Amino acid sequence: MNINFKNKGCTLRNLFIINLLAFSFVSCGSVKDDLIDLPFEIRQPIPFIPGLVADGLSGDWPGSYTPLKILSDICGNIPDSNDFQTSFRIAWNETGLFIQAEITDDTVYEDPDKFWNGDGLELFLSPARGSLNIIQVSVRPGFELSDSLAACRIYDHRRSELLIESETSIIFCCEKSSHGYTLEGFVPLELIGIEPDQDTAMAIQLYLNDADHEDDQENHSLPWYSIRDSYRNPYACHSIRFTADQYPEMHPEIRTCIVDEQTVHLKVIGDRAYDEQTFRIISGALQHRFKLNSKGPGLKHWTFPEHKIPSGRGSFVGLQLEEKTLQVLDLEMAHRVYEKIDPPEWYENEIRIFEIMDKYSRPPDSAILFTGSSTIRRWYSLADDMDQRAVINRGFGGSVMEELNLNLERIVFPYNPSMILVYEGDNDITRGTTPSAFLDECKIFINQCRHRLPDTEIIFLSIKPSPARMRYWKQMARANSMLEDFCRTQENVTFIDITSPMFKKPGILKSDIYAGDKVHLNEKGYALLTQVIKSNLSK
């Protein structure tokens, strides 16, 4: 769903920074038991403000509401204050959620196609931290538009058909100034199935973005929550709570990133002094105390090799002010930077997010596991379509059979599934893999699963045809035939033909079951896929 409405350096000015570069915590004495087991969900209070209007002006916001600043990017890099500075306010009332962001920017660049590549704002909203029902709202100033309306697009990442479409539009307005611009907008929360009310909780991530030109390598993306990948990581967001009159406070930022898989960078960044107040960084049973005072930017160093990072339940880093916990970050979600070593395979981030989701919400044993490439990954309505059976979706887009085999220990074996449905081959054949080589990889999958999951039924879905890839269809059909013949010779291994129902008649595909890219399936295509699979499972 797309909606368009009309309408580099690092300056430390007024910032106090504790910079924990390539660091290792040294225990500073014993830690109280109640500090070791910190909560991972700290809810930010959001005030009720009646009468707000999304017009790009600030006159209807209370003067007592001090805007929150976002000072740095995910790794703690601070934009030059002459180039880019940001602040925002967030509130709610009975109509929905309101956001106002004031941006100081020396050069405004807008990408009319990929909003996130240029100047603007991005919101990720879901009913709760951990929910996969995520809505992304991307906004750019839209200076070419009339009536002060900003350009806005919605990207629907929701995983449930139970959520209704909103009859109320998302509206963002932009007011240009001599030093930048202001964005103000309204989001109806019925989009994510929420009715605004006091004490209602939900999840949100906000990015404020800056680029000075196309392909700007010095661009900035400043996140409110200190974890990225918000469109696919349901824990990369703040948990917020609607209150009557409590405003969120501006706390020092905590930024973490793992460098070369060997060391961790951590920065604590504040915009003011905290005279005589003691901060504490803690991780497991390790802690360090420090102050942000008025004598100027503070700088401290520790060594923190990755093997010192706590694992399991204690793999967090927390920031406390006196006895109050300000933020807790799971180190397993920390941003990875590969400066001196080759980066891992392209799919590493996606596989790691699966592991993060498993850590917070362990899937049940004996569920039905769906895995494979983007035909599985994009099956957002899978649980609903399978009649709310216990299903696990571990598709990672762009994958081939060999890459699935390389990740069996991480996204197949841990679940002890009763049944595995596999869709691969689409990408294999288009990248030059022969049908016989594809079959060899399928055999590897079967043999590995038989060794580790001897009682699990394996089902291969046939490679689907698609309008954009019909030049490969002869090879795909050959791979299907070879795989089907092999499956007939194997015990507890089944082949399901999802191909035939996708043809209107021989050689002519049904045109109404494909997404706009003519490769993936649309809603109607997944309804067809559901019907074919369920009819075979019931036999």
Q: What's the confidence (pLDDT) of residue 50?
A: 95
Contact 314/38 with Cβ under 8 angstroms? no
Is residue 91 one of the residues assigned to a domain? yes
Is residue 179 one of the residues assigned to a domain? yes
Is residue 337 one of the residues assigned to a domain? no
In degrees, rounded to 5, the angle at the alpha carbon of residue 4 between the alpha carbons of residues 517 and 510 is 25
**Domain of 467?**
363-537
In terms of C-beta density within 10 A (0-12 exposed, 13-18 middle, 19 or more buried), how is residue 57 classed? middle
**Does 324 share its domain with 180?**
yes
Is residue 305 one of the residues assigned to a domain? yes
Contact 513/528 with Cβ under 8 angstroms? yes
Picking from 118-127, 162-171, 330-339, 517-526, which range would have the lowest pLDDT averaged per residue?
A: 162-171
In terms of C-beta density within 10 A (0-12 exposed, 13-18 middle, 19 or more buried), how is residue 484 classed? middle
How far apart are the C-alpha atoms of 331 and 318, rounded to whole Å? 10
Lookup: tokens for 70: 């976002």
Strand-pair category, 335-337 with 253-259: parallel
**Does 127 share its domain with 242?**
yes
Q: Is residue 366 over pLDDT 50?
A: yes
**Does 319 share its domain with 368?**
no
Model confidence band, residue 270 (pLDDT cutoffs 50, 70, 90): confident
How far apart are the C-alpha atoms of 359 and 315, rounded to whole Å? 11
Instruction: Look at residues 457, 440, 439 and name the one whose alpha carbon lies nearest to residue 449.
Output: 457
Is residue 356 one of the residues assigned to a domain? no
Q: Of 280, 313, 332, at which residue does a domain stop?
A: 332
**Does 181 share its domain with 279?**
yes
**Does 266 share its domain with 402?**
no
Report the domain count for the chain.
Answer: 2
In terms of C-beta density within 10 A (0-12 exposed, 13-18 middle, 19 or more buried), how is residue 23 classed? buried
**Does 328 share its domain with 367?**
no
The model's pTM is 0.86
Is residue 7 one of the residues assigned to a domain? no
Instruction: Look at residues 397, 376, 424, 386 and name the one whose alpha carbon lies nearest to residue 521.
Output: 376
Q: Of 332, 349, 381, at which residue does a domain stop?
A: 332
Picking from 258-262, 341-345, 382-386, which range would have the lowest pLDDT averaged per residue?
A: 258-262
Chain segment 44-101, per-residue pLDDT in tens? 999 999 999 998 888 899 999 999 999 999 988 889 888 899 999 999 999 999 999 9
Q: When comparing pLDDT for 532 and 265, which is higher?
A: 532
Q: When comparing pLDDT for 402 and 383, which is higher?
A: 402
**Does 309 share its domain with 424?**
no
CB atoms within 10 A of CB 177: 11
Task: Please state the rounded mean pLDDT for residues 29-42.
Answer: 47
Average pLDDT value over all residues in the chain: 85
- Number of residues in the chain: 539
138 contact partners, CB below 8 Å, separation of at least 6: 115, 116, 120, 121, 122, 152, 153, 154, 155
Q: Of 314, 332, 350, at which residue does a domain stop?
A: 332
CB atoms within 10 A of CB 398: 14
**Does 109 share its domain with 255?**
yes
Q: Is residue 14 over pLDDT 50?
A: no
DSSP string covering 97-150 = EEEEEEEEESS----SS-GGGSSEEEEEEESSTT-S-EEEEEEE--TTSSTTBP
What CATH number did the domain enclosing 369 receive? Answer: 3.40.50.1110
What CATH number did the domain enclosing 127 receive? Answer: 2.60.40.1190
**Does 285 share its domain with 368?**
no
Is residue 4 one of the residues assigned to a domain? no
- Which residue has 């074919």 as its token pair? 532
Task: Please state the rounded mean pLDDT for residues 429-446.
Answer: 98
**Does 530 share its domain with 409?**
yes
**Does 318 share its domain with 375?**
no
**Does 279 share its domain with 380?**
no
Is residue 503 one of the residues assigned to a domain? yes
